[in-house]
Amino acid sequence: MLLYRQVEMNKSDSSLELIVKETEHGWGYEILEDNKIIVIQEIIPGVIGNQYFKTKKDAKKIGLLVLTKLKNNKRPIITAEDLEENRIEYKN
C-alpha cells in the first residue's frame, strides 16, 4: 500500500522519490532515482540492532532528510544527532 510519495529534482535533472510505507515490523522508506530503488530502509539507520520506525511520521522525517542530503550531493548518512533532532524514538 502506498502511503506517502514525494518527488524532488536534483541538480543533474534526475528525479529522486521518497516512498514511505508500512513494513512487517513498523514503518520504513525507499528512495528511488529515475524510478530505480537506490535505498531501502526498513530499520532505523545509525542505531545498534534492528530497531524499527514506530510511526509513519518518523520514517517520513528521516526519509526526507536522506532525500535532501542526496539532492544536495551529500552522503546520506544518518547520525544519532540527526535522530535526536528529529525526535525519533529508539533504544541506545
Residue-wise pLDDT for 29-80, tens only, equals 999 999 999 999 999 998 999 999 999 999 999 999 999 999 999 999 999 9
- CA 62/CA 57 separation, integer angstroms: 9
The pLDDT of residue 65 is 97
| C-alpha cell, 42 | 526498513
- CA 76/CA 87 separation, integer angstroms: 18
The pLDDT of residue 88 is 96
The pLDDT of residue 15 is 87
Instruction: Please tell me which residue, 31 or 7, carries the higher pLDDT value.
Output: 31
User: Residue 66 CB: number of other CB atoms within 10 A?
Assistant: 23
Would you place residue 14 in the very low, low, confident or very high pLDDT band (cuts 50, 70, 90)?
confident
